[in-house]
Amino acid sequence: MARKKRSSPMLQKAVRRAAGMNSIDPNLDVGNGLTLSAFSALIETMRTKENAYNTALSNLDKLYSEMLQTESELGDMTEHMLMGVGTRYGKSSIEYGMAGGVPKTQRHKRLRGKSPTTISQQPSFVADISSNGNGKKSAATS
C-alpha cells in the first residue's frame, strides 16, 4: 500500500494570498521585512520541501516493494536449498538437520489440534478433589 502523499493546505492558502497581493502591488512591502518577494520565496521553499518529501515517500514505497519481492525470492530459495540438501543427503541425515530441517527420525506424529495429554489425565502429583487425602471419599462429595 502506497503511503499517502502530503498536500499542504497552508501552502495552497499562501499561494492564493500571494496571487491576491501581487494584484495589489508586485513590489508590496508592508514593513518589518514583510515583502511579497520574501513571501514568494518562502512559498517556493515550502513547495520544494513538500515535493522532496513526496518524492522520498515514493522512493520508500519502491524500496519497500523491492524488499518484499527479494524477501519472497529468499524464502523460495531457502526452501529449495533445504530440499536440495534433503535430496543429496537424505531427509534422515545429520546434514539435513544441520541445514535446518527436521530429520524424519526425529519427527513426532500426532493428530492435528490435539494436545499430547488429555484433560482427563492428571499428573500423579495433583490431588483428586473428591478424595480427602487418605483414599476415602470426603463427606462433602458423598
Q: Where are the domains of the chain?
A: 9-106
Q: What average pLDDT score do residues 17-36 get?
A: 96
- The residue assigned the cell 524464502 is 75
Cα–Cα distance, 118 to 20 (Å, whole number): 80
What pLDDT score does 3 carry?
86
Task: Give the DSSP per-residue string, 16-64.
Answer: HHHHHHHHH-TT-B-STT-BHHHHHHHHHHHHHHHHHHHHHHHHHHHHH
Q: What average pLDDT score do residues 111-115 get?
A: 62
Could you give phi then psi for residue 29, rounded to 5 degrees?
-140, 115
Percent of the chain topping pLDDT 90: 70
Cα–Cα distance, 113 to 105 (Å, whole number): 22
Q: What average pLDDT score do residues 96-107 get?
A: 90
What pLDDT score does 104 carry?
84
Q: Using one digit for the tens of pLDDT, what is the confidence trace for 47-74? A: 999 999 999 999 999 999 999 999 999 9
